Amino acid sequence: MSRQFDRFIAYDPGKTIMSDKAPWITYRPQLKVLDCTIRDGGLINKHQFDDALVRAVYDACVAAGVDYMEIGYKNSEKQFPRQQFGPWRHCREEDIRRVVGDHDPAATGLKLSVMADAAKSDWKTQIGPRRDSVVSMVRVAFYANQVSEAVEMIQHAHEMGYETCANLMSVSAVSETEIDTVLEAIAPTPAGVVVIVDSFGHLYREQVDALYRKYAKAVEGSGKEVGLHMHNNLQLAFANTVEGIILGANRVDASAYGLGRGAGNCPMELLLGFLRNPKFKLRPVLKLIQEHLLPLREKMEWGPLVPYNLTGQMNLHPRSAMEWRDGPRKDDFTAFFDKIVADV
Amino acid sequence: MSRQFDRFIAYDPGKTIMSDKAPWITYRPQLKVLDCTIRDGGLINKHQFDDALVRAVYDACVAAGVDYMEIGYKNSEKQFPRQQFGPWRHCREEDIRRVVGDHDPAATGLKLSVMADAAKSDWKTQIGPRRDSVVSMVRVAFYANQVSEAVEMIQHAHEMGYETCANLMSVSAVSETEIDTVLEAIAPTPAGVVVIVDSFGHLYREQVDALYRKYAKAVEGSGKEVGLHMHNNLQLAFANTVEGIILGANRVDASAYGLGRGAGNCPMELLLGFLRNPKFKLRPVLKLIQEHLLPLREKMEWGPLVPYNLTGQMNLHPRSAMEWRDGPRKDDFTAFFDKIVADV
């Protein structure tokens, strides 16, 4: 039984059936899905979503059997003032509770997550005890050169009682030696998950494979899971997520209608249509899309548009493409191509 | 050296460098790209493209270094009358020459292809000698139960002097035993290529792998190449094409901006951004998109919209989704979901 086909069918709690013949119709019960619709989507509009939308995403996650909903960032109110940024950039407890009430993970099957960025979070004062919060998990996002702070943040959040997760960003732009050093630093921390984060949407299949094997080897025997957070610049976010799942990743990020910065994320409606665990339901996500995200798409832009294709191919931050799409020549793709070819 | 990493860098015609360390920056010179923009896209509008668009696609193919352009179908004028269907459904020689002149494959580096459907083509009378035509290749499309006619069509086109190609359609809905029988029938024919055709856009990575291995084994030692024609219902057309390339497929279909029936095809702009053969140029495809396909997309719909996601997931012909998108409730995704779940 190769690792590649290491999926399980568990109809009967006492009996596990394995198959390597048609693994695509089987599943691993330990695979967990995280919704990052609000957290990642808020990078487009400074997290100025109204409460009704956040509640609709929450309701859809509960109904769809999604395991985690990342409701926003736990970032600094000094760096991201409330006058300019919506509440999901800071995730005050009162804001979360206004939308989800006294959320009960056991009753709903859903845990809430927040993300804290290294160098952008007042984590020592803002991440308090879990017993006072409806949040279950803190994910720490960091660049390679911020790994020391990330280790402290993970330790702090763990001591406060949260599940923790280490998200090294923009991995396609980090050298292999630096990735190795980051993984060595993260391995001894209490982080339950280490996530492969393709911020630039640059990775092709063989690169996902190489990174998965590197991450899996680094955390082998530690009980840590490998996670995936893929961007859709090359229309590969879903494919790369499936690839990681085949290899053994048990934590995967997705967002409804792919909502997320730039090209967006792995679309939840594609992911749930692929996963065979009967606890996952597709229909609530479709309802969320037609009632809330189609109207939102009229006002805000995301998705694998040509300028994002190009920054993905060239392993660039999507920033230049986002600026181009906000400018007067947004559909002049050859001019954008000429510009970024000249710039690199 | 595994087959998976069997790519080549051939900077020097006399010297071939191979690498399995970072195969994604290498290439196989024998890999050939076919543009199916007009042929597949015409299934949306009954091939009523104006000559200027067809010429623009032709010019882009030449400038981009694409190997084949499939300019349309060679199907019956009785079944598809000229009053209702545009000239690219029949590809009369005079229509092709009106657009491309006395096209010269050697001078342009581009060969022209036409597709003939079993049971829809008057091939005995309509496919004449290659010496009288600017077309180089005839691709025969057929369902499994039409394989006998397909073999005759391939033989006829071969005798007329054309390169030939066998395209078993809707492979995700054909049993493995039937696929084996089709491949046994095609193997002794003069067809130079056998194409894996995912008409429903249903295939996931592991299924592509299984089919590729089946096709490759069936044609082993015959000199035939395996080709790929992927639809984008699940945003996997590009990923599945890359997968097939990694495994060894040397003939791949794509279309500019993914133009094609329903969810469309593998986008040429993504494919050329991935291929490392310096003969391929991306910029002419971007120019084609911004000048011709963005305006066309305002009038005609294609792409991986939610209803196509759903037919892809359920391994259905996209017909029901196309009809839904033409109806009054086109954005009522839950109603469409409920309908097709009830129908299967």
Chain A (211-230) residues lying within 8 Å, Cβ to Cβ, of chain B: none
Over residues B29-65, the pLDDT tens digits come to 999 999 999 999 999 999 999 999 999 999 999 999 9
Q: Are B161 and B130 in contact (CB under 8 A)?
A: yes
Residues of B in contact with A204 (CB under 8 A): 24, 242, 274
Q: Are A123 and A149 in contact (CB under 8 A)?
A: no
Over residues B7-34, the pLDDT tens digits come to 444 444 444 445 678 989 999 999 999 9
Of A270, A283, A334, the CB nearest to B309: A270
What is the DSSP secondary-structure string of B159-211? HTT-EEEEEE--GGGS-HHHHHHHHHHHTTSS-SEEEEEETTS---HHHHHHH
Residues of B in contact with A286 (CB under 8 A): 306, 333-334, 337
CB atoms within 10 A of CB A77: 14
Q: Residue range B135-147: average pLDDT?
A: 98
> In terms of domains, do B311 and B216 share one?
no
Say if the Cβ atoms of B236 and A239 lie within 8 Å.
yes
> In terms of domains, do A317 and A218 share one?
no
pLDDT in the model for residue A14: 43
Pairwise CA distance, residues B86 & B66, whole Å: 24
Of A242, A267, A313, the CB nearest to B205: A242
Task: Give CA torsion, residues B115, B151, B316, A280, to 10 deg.
Answer: -110
Q: Which of A25, A202, A204, A329 to mutate to test the interface with B (most CBs of B within 10 A)?
A: A204
Kind of pairing between the strands at A68-73 and A32-35: parallel
The interface predicted TM-score of the complex, written ipTM, equals 0.94
> Who's near B295: CB < 8 A, 6+ residues apart?
none
pLDDT in the model for residue A15: 44
Over residues B152-194, the pLDDT tens digits come to 999 999 999 999 999 999 999 999 999 999 999 999 999 999 9
* Composition of chain A by helix, strand, coil, percent to 5: 45, 20, 35
| Amino acid sitting at position A171 | V
Q: State the Cα angle at B74 between B68 and B79, rounded to 5°.
A: 150
CB atoms within 10 A of CB A132: 10
| Maximum Cα–Cα distance across chain B | 62
pLDDT in the model for residue B19: 63
Q: State the Cα angle at A108 between A103 and A114, rounded to 5°.
A: 55
> In terms of domains, do A77 and A198 share one?
yes
Confidence tier at B6 by pLDDT (50, 70, 90)? very low
Q: How far is CA A164 from CA A137, A153, A155, A314, in A?
A: 6, 9, 9, 32
pLDDT in the model for residue A214: 98
CB pairs under 8 A between A and B: 104
**Nearest Cα to B69, choosing from B27, B98, B41, B29?**
B41
Q: Which of A289, A334, A336, A339 to mutate to test the interface with B (most CBs of B within 10 A)?
A: A334
- For residue A299, the Cα-to-chain-centroid distance in whole angstroms is 23
Helices vs strands, H then E, count in chain B: 15, 10
Pairwise CA distance, residues B140 & B117, whole Å: 6
> In terms of domains, do B9 and B138 share one?
no
Residues of A in contact with B205 (CB under 8 A): 239, 242-243, 246
SS3 B68: strand
Q: For chain A, say whether B315 makes contact (Cβ under 8 Å).
A: no
> In terms of domains, do A135 and A193 share one?
yes
Please give the tally of structural domains in chain B: 3
Tell me, yes or no, whether A65 lies in a domain: yes
Tell me, yes or no, whether A18 lies in a domain: no
Tell me, yes or no, whether A17 lies in a domain: no
Residues of A in contact with B240 (CB under 8 A): 239
Pairwise CA distance, residues A313 & B25, whole Å: 12
Give me the domain span that covers residue B327: 306-343
Q: Which of B27, B266, B306, B336 to mutate to test the interface with A (most CBs of A within 10 A)?
A: B306
Pairwise CA distance, residues B140 & B153, whole Å: 7
> In terms of domains, do B310 and B282 share one?
no
CB atoms within 10 A of CB B37: 33
Say if the Cβ atoms of B306 and A269 lie within 8 Å.
yes
Pairwise CA distance, residues B38 & B53, whole Å: 9
> Distance between terminal CA atoms of chain B?
45
Q: Phi-psi bin for A203: left (phi > 0), alpha (psi -120 to 50), beta?
A: beta
- The CATH number of the domain holding residue A165 is 3.20.20.70
Say if the Cβ atoms of A309 and B334 lie within 8 Å.
no
Say if the Cβ atoms of B309 and A334 lie within 8 Å.
no
> In terms of domains, do B311 and B233 share one?
no
Token digits for B22? 């970072």
> In terms of domains, do B202 and B311 share one?
no
What sign results for the dihedral spanned by CA atoms B312, B153, B67, B251? Answer: positive
Residue in chain A closest to B20 (alpha carbons) equals A206
pLDDT in the model for residue A5: 38
Residues of B in contact with A269 (CB under 8 A): 306, 309
Say if the Cβ atoms of A269 and B309 lie within 8 Å.
yes
Say if the Cβ atoms of B235 and A239 lie within 8 Å.
yes
Residues of chain A whose pLDDT is less than 70?
A: 1-19
pLDDT in the model for residue B4: 37
Residue in chain B closest to A274 (alpha carbons) equals B313
Is residue B55 exposed (0-12), middle (13-18) or buried (19+ Cβ within 10 Å)? middle
SS3 B30: coil
SS3 A1: coil
Tell me, yes or no, whether A334 lies in a domain: yes
Chain A (235-274) residues lying within 8 Å, Cβ to Cβ, of chain B: 235-240, 242-243, 246, 267, 269-270, 273-274
Of A204, A286, A310, the CB nearest to B242: A204
- For residue B210, the Cα-to-chain-centroid distance in whole angstroms is 20
What is the DSSP code (8-state) at residue A112? E
Å between A247 CA and nearest CA of chain B: 11
Say if the Cβ atoms of B238 and A235 lie within 8 Å.
yes
Pairwise CA distance, residues A60 & A286, whole Å: 9
What is the DSSP code (8-state) at residue B224? P
> In terms of domains, do B214 and B332 share one?
no
> Who's near B146: CB < 8 A, 6+ residues apart?
B118, B119
> In terms of domains, do A66 and A202 share one?
yes
Say if the Cβ atoms of A283 and B332 lie within 8 Å.
no
Over residues A217-266, the pLDDT tens digits come to 999 999 999 999 999 999 999 999 999 999 999 999 999 999 999 999 99
> In terms of domains, do B294 and B315 share one?
no
Kind of pairing between the strands at B68-73 and B111-117: parallel
**Nearest Cα to B228, choosing from B191, B254, B205?**
B254
Of A207, A243, A309, the CB nearest to B269: A309
Over residues B268-284, the pLDDT tens digits come to 999 999 999 999 999 99
Q: Residue range B211-228: average pLDDT?
A: 97
Residue in chain A closest to B284 (alpha carbons) equals A334
> In terms of domains, do A73 and A123 share one?
yes
